Structure 1
Amino acid sequence: MRASLFSVVAFLLLTGAANAQASLDGVLDPVRAKYALPAIAAAVVKEGKLLAVGVVGVRVVDTDIAATIEDRFHLGSDTKAMTATLAGMMVEEGKLRWNSTIGEVLGQDLPALRPKFAAITLAQLLSHTSGISPDNDEIGKLYFSADAYEYSLTQWRLRMIGAWGSKHDPSFPAAGKFQYANLGYITAGAMIEKVSGKPWERLIYERIYAPLGLSTAGIGAQATFGLYDAPVGHRTDDKGKVTPQPWGEPADLPASLGPAGLAHMSVKDFAAWAAWNAGEGKRGPALVRPETLKLLHTPVVEMQIKDPKPGTPKSGAYALGWGLSKFDWTEKPILTHNGSNGMNFASVEVDPDHDLALVVLINIAGPNADKASLEVMKTLYETYVK
Structure 2
Amino acid sequence: MRHASLYLAVPVLLALLSASAVAARDALDATLEPLRAEHRLPALAAAVVKDGVIVAAGAVGERALGSGVPVTVDDRFHIGSDTKAMTATLAAMQVEEGLLRWDSTVGETIGAAFPGMAPELAAVSLEQLLSHSSGIPSDTAEMLNLYFSVDAFNHGPSARRLRAIDAWKTNVPMKPEGSPFQYSNFGYLIAGAMIEAASGQPWERLIRERLFDPLGLTTAGLGATVTPGRLDAAAAHVRGADGSVALRVWGIAADIPPMLGPAGTAHMSVLDFARWGGWNAGMGRRGPALLKPATLAILHAVHTRTPPRPDAPPGTPGTGGYGLGWGIVPFPWSDRPLLAHNGSNGMNLAKILVDTERDLAVVVLTNIGGKAAEDGASAVQQALYERYR
- TM-score (normalised: structure 2): 0.92
Q: Within 2, Cα distance between the matches of 1:256 and 1:215?
A: 23
Deviation at 1:19, TM superposition (A): 5.0
Q: Within 2, Cα distance between the matches of 1:268 and 1:18?
A: 12
Letter in 1 for 2:330: K
Q: Secondary structure at the match of 2:207?
A: helix
Aligned to 1:322: 326
Q: Within 2, Cα distance between the matches of 1:315 and 1:346?
A: 17
1:138 aligns with 2:142: yes
Letter in 2 for 1:281: G
Q: Secondary structure at the match of 2:376?
A: helix
Mean CA deviation greater in 70-79 or 234-243: 234-243
1:156 aligns with 2:160: yes
Q: Within 1, Cα distance between the matches of 2:337 and 2:317?
A: 9
Letter in 2 for 1:206: E
Aligned with residue 287 of structure 1, among 270, 286, 290: 290
Aligned with residue 266 of structure 1, among 265, 269, 275: 269
Q: Say if 1:338 and 1:345, in contact at 8 Å, map to a contact too.
A: yes
Q: Secondary structure at the match of 1:139?
A: helix
Q: Say if 1:313 and 1:326, in contact at 8 Å, map to a contact too.
A: no
The 5 Å alignment of 1:36-55 reads 36-55=40-59
Aligned to 2:228: 225
> 1:215–1:337: structure 2 CA closer, same or farther, 3 Å change rule?
same
RMSD value over aligned CA atoms? 1.7
Letter in 2 for 1:61: L
Q: Within 1, Cα distance between the matches of 2:21 and 2:146?
A: 53
The 5 Å alignment of 1:130-279 reads 130-165=134-169, 167-279=170-282
Aligned with residue 342 of structure 1, among 337, 341, 346: 346
Q: Say if 1:37 and 1:364, in contact at 8 Å, map to a contact too.
A: yes
Deviation at 1:307, TM superposition (A): 2.2
Letter in 2 for 1:59: R
Deviation at 1:174, TM superposition (A): 3.1
1:75 aligns with 2:59: no
Q: Secondary structure at the match of 1:56?
A: strand
> 1:178–1:27: structure 2 CA closer, same or farther, 3 Å change rule?
same
Deviation at 1:237, TM superposition (A): 1.9
Mean CA deviation greater in 235-244 or 92-101: 235-244
* 5+ long unaligned stretches in structure 1: 1-15
Q: Within 2, Cα distance between the matches of 1:18 and 1:189?
A: 37
Q: Say if 1:313 and 1:327, in contact at 8 Å, map to a contact too.
A: no
Mean CA deviation greater in 322-331 or 236-245: 236-245
Aligned to 2:65: 61
Q: Say if 1:43 and 1:52, in contact at 8 Å, map to a contact too.
A: yes
Deviation at 1:195, TM superposition (A): 0.9
Q: Secondary structure at the match of 2:77?
A: strand
Identical aligned pairs, as a percentage?
Answer: 52
Deviation at 1:315, TM superposition (A): 3.1
Letter in 2 for 1:352: T
Q: Secondary structure at the match of 1:53?
A: strand
Letter in 2 for 1:92: E
Deviation at 1:181, TM superposition (A): 0.4
Q: Within 2, Cα distance between the matches of 1:18 and 1:63?
A: 27
Q: Say if 1:112 and 1:162, in contact at 8 Å, map to a contact too.
A: no
1:333 aligns with 2:344: no
Aligned to 2:16: none
Deviation at 1:159, TM superposition (A): 1.2
Aligned to 2:117: 113
Q: Secondary structure at the match of 2:46?
A: strand
Letter in 2 for 1:65: V
* 5+ long unaligned stretches in structure 2: 1-19
Q: Within 2, Cα distance between the matches of 1:175 and 1:60?
A: 44
Letter in 1 for 2:361: A
